[in-house]
Structure 1
Amino acid sequence: MTEAVRGVPQGPPRSGRLTHIKVGSAPDSWGVWFPQDPVQVPWRRFLDEVAGSGYEWIELGPYGYLPSDPALLGRELAARGLRVSAGTVFTALHHGGASAWERTWAHVSQVATHAQAVGAGHLVMIPAFWRDDRTGEPLEGATLTAGQWRTLAAQTERLSRQVHEEFGLRVVVHPHADTHIDTEENVVRLLHATDPDLVHLCLDTGHYAYCGGDSVKLIERYGERIGYLHLKQVDPALLARVRERDLPFGPAVGLGVMCEPPAGEPAWEPVLEAAQALGRRRGVELFAIVEQDMYPCPPEKPLPIARRTRSFLRSCGA
C-alpha cells in the first residue's frame, strides 16, 4: 500500500495515467550543492536513499559529487537499479571573448563526457549568478545590456549545437533565481532571440514561481521549447519575506523557501497535466526531476521527504 501522506488524496494511486512523464530525483533533494562539502550526505548514502524512495532516474548533480569514473559509477547505479537523465553545467555565456568561451567549453566538455559515458541524454545549463548566493554581494549588474543579450543568445546556440554534435546530448537552459534568465520577461526574451531547433528550456517550476512566472502558461505558450522539467515548490509566505528583505537565493533556501509538496506553489497537478499533453502532442516522454533545495540540511531529513514526495507523485498519476 502507498504510504499515507498528509495532504495527499488517499486510495489507490492513479499510477501510469501520466504516460509521457518520467519522474526522478537529484542530489539537490538531499541537500547537495557542491562537489565536496562536509555537511552533505556521502554519495553512496544518496544513491541508497534515492533508490529506496522509489525513483529510477537521477541527475548527476555538481560534477565531482558522484564518482567521476564512469565504470565505478555505472556499477553503483546498476546495483541499485538507477539510471541517469542529465548532467549539470554552470555557464556565463553573456561574457564574450575567446578566453571566456575556452573556459566554458573546458567545463562543459568535461561534464558532457561524463554524462554521455553514464547514459544521460541531457545537459542542464544553469546561468551564472549575478550576485553571490550566500552573501548577496553583487558580482556584476543585475540586468544585461543589449550587447550582452546578443552575446548570450549567440553563445547559447553555439554551445547547444556543439554539445549535440560532439556528445549527442541535448542542452536545456535552466532559468534560475539570481541569474539573468529568471523572470517570464527574460525567459521569453531568450526564446525569441534564439533558434527553436537549438535552444530549449529546463523549466524549474519552483525557480519560475520564485521569480513570478506561471509554469502552466509557459508550457501552453512555448511548449515546443521545453525539453525537461524540474519539479519544485515555493512557500508563498516565506517568498514574500524574501522579496521584502531582498535576500539572495542561498539565505532564502536556508529559511526553507523551497518547501515540501504539496504545501507550496505552483500546484504540481496542472503542471504535470500540461506536460503530459505536451508530451503526447510531440510524441515524447518528458523528464520531470524532483528538486527540493534545502542546503544545508540534517542528513536524516531528505529520505522521509523523498518518500512522501514520491507517494504524492503517484497520487498525481506519475
Structure 2
Amino acid sequence: MMKIANAPCSWGALEFDLEEKSEEIGFKQVLDEIKETGYIGTELGDWGFMPTDPSKLKAELHNRKLSLLGAFVPVALVDETMHNKGVDTALKVAQLMHNAGYKDAFVVLADDNGSVAERTKNAGRITPKMGLTKAQWRVYALGAEKIAKAVKEAYGIRTVFHHHCAGYVETPEEIDQLMAMTDPKLLGLCLDMGHYAFGGGDPVEALKKYGERIWHVHFKDYSPVAAKASEAVDGDYFDAIKRGVFCELGKGNVDFKAVVSLLKEKGYKDWIVVEQDVLPGMGNPKECAQANRNYLKTLGL
C-alpha cells in the first residue's frame, strides 16, 4: 500500500537563497499541519529547518506519529570542485536520518537549482543550446554517482536524483541522458510529476519509460495556464511559482488517475510525497494540503 506524505516546501520552506526566507513558518507548525491534514510522513526540508540532533528530530516526528522519508540535497554537480562538498553535505544529512532511525529514507539529490541564470530565466522553455556539453555531462554524472556511492557505503542509504526546473536536468531528454550515464543500482530516479510536466514531458510516459529506476515519487501538479502567463511577461522560474504553476492536485494537466493506476500496476508500495511549492508567505498552505489530501482520497489513496 502506498503511503502519503507532504513536505516543508508546501509551506514555503524552500532550499533557495531567497529574501523571503525570513517569512518561513516554524517547523513545529509545519509538522502539526502535515499531521492535521492527514499525512503520515514528511521530508526533512532545508538543513537546519528541523532539528539536526537525531534524538530531538526523532522525538518531534514520533510525537506526531510521522515518518521521515527523505532529505533534499542540492549540489552544483557540473562543477567538479563542488563534488567533495556535495559528498560531505549528503553524508551529514544521511547520518542524521540514519541516527534518528530512518534508515530507509532517501537522499534526494538535485542540481543547485535556481543558481544558473540562463536555466532559471528559461525554466519550462529550455532549448538544447542551454544544455551541458559532453565533457560537462561526464563531470555531472560522475559527481552524482560519487555522492550516491559515499552515502550507500557509509550508511546503507539510497540516493535518488530529483530532476528539477531551473537546473541542468529538467527536460525529458536531459533526464534520459543522466539515467543512461549512471549506474541504475546506485542512483535511482525521484520522479516529480509537476517538474516533469513543466519541463515538457508527460509524467505517465515517464512512469512507463523508467519503470524500476523510479524509487521515489513526488506528486505535484502543473498549470500550463500559469506557465503561459509567466512566459508572456518573460518571467523566470520564481515568477512561474508566484503565478501558481504548481497548482493544487487535480487542477492542472497531470493525469493523476493514470499515474496512480500505473504505480499500482508496477507494484509501487513506497512513499508518495505531495509537494505544492510556494514561496514564503504565499496562500494558505494548510488549506492546500487538506485539499490535496482530499483529492488523493478520490483516487483511492
Give the match for residue 107 of structure 1: 89
Separation in 1 of the partners of 2:116 and 2:243? 18
Pick the aligned partner of 2:287 from 294, 298, 304: 304
Give the match for residue 240 of structure 1: 228
Pick the aligned partner of 1:230 from 218, 222, 230: 218
Count of matched residue positions in the alignment of Structure 1 and Structure 2 = 290
8 Å contact kept, 2:162–2:191? yes
Question: What CA deviation, in whole Å up to 9, does each residue of 1:206-251 have, x standing for no partner?
Answer: 0110011111111112112111111001111111223344422112
Question: What CA deviation, in whole Å up to 9, does each residue of 1:103-147 have, x standing for no partner?
Answer: 222222111111222315211111123535998499xx9321110
Question: What CA deviation, in whole Å up to 9, does each residue of 1:58-77 have, x standing for no partner?
Answer: 10011110111111121111
Q: What secondary structure, in the 3-state scheme, does the structure 2 residue paired with 1:258 have? A: coil
Q: Taking structure 2 as the reference length, what is the TM-score of the superposition?
A: 0.90
Separation in 2 of the partners of 1:105 and 1:156? 9
Residue 75 of structure 2 aligns to which amino acid in structure 1? T
8 Å contact kept, 1:34–1:65? no
Give yes or no for the alignment of 1:22 onto 2:22: no
Give the match for residue 315 of structure 1: 298
Residue 62 of structure 1 aligns to which amino acid in structure 2? D
Separation in 2 of the partners of 1:117 and 1:285? 24
Q: What secondary structure, in the 3-state scheme, does the structure 1 residue paired with 2:77 have? A: coil
Separation in 2 of the partners of 1:133 and 1:287? 33
Give the match for residue 199 of structure 2: 211
Separation in 2 of the partners of 1:192 and 1:115? 29
8 Å contact kept, 1:232–1:292? yes
8 Å contact kept, 2:4–2:274? yes
For 1:127-142, list aligned pairs within 5 A: 127-129=111-113, 131-132=116-117, 136=121, 142=130
Pick the aligned partner of 1:255 from 211, 235, 243: 243
Give yes or no for the alignment of 1:286 onto 2:273: no
Flag the 1:134–1:227 CA change in 2: closer, same or farther, 3 A.
Answer: closer
Give the match for residue 88 of structure 1: 72
Give the match for residue 60 of structure 2: 76
Q: Taking structure 1 as the reference length, what is the TM-score of the superposition?
A: 0.85
Higher helix share: 2
8 Å contact kept, 2:91–2:150? no
Q: What secondary structure, in the 3-state scheme, does the structure 2 residue paired with 1:296 have? A: coil
Structure 2 gap ranges (5+): 124-128
Question: What CA deviation, in whole Å up to 9, does each residue of 1:125-170 have, x standing for no partner?
Answer: 11123535998499xx932111010111222222212211111111
Separation in 1 of the partners of 2:33 and 2:41? 13
For the aligned residue pairs, the C-alpha RMSD in angstroms reads 2.2
Give the match for residue 45 of structure 1: 29
Residue 25 of structure 1 aligns to which amino acid in structure 2? N
Flag the 1:256–1:134 CA change in 2: closer, same or farther, 3 A.
Answer: farther
Separation in 1 of the partners of 2:66 and 2:116? 35
Structure 1 gap ranges (5+): 1-18
Give the match for residue 276 of structure 1: 264
Q: Offset of 1:192 from its aligned partner?
A: 1.3
Residue 220 of structure 1 aligns to which amino acid in structure 2? K
8 Å contact kept, 1:134–1:250? no
Give the match for residue 182 of structure 2: 194
Larger Rg: 1
For 1:151-162, list aligned pairs within 5 A: 151-162=139-150
Give the match for residue 176 of structure 1: 164
Moved more, 45-54 or 31-40: 31-40
Percent identity between the two aligned chains:
31
Q: Offset of 1:43 from its aligned partner?
A: 1.0
8 Å contact kept, 1:59–1:87? yes
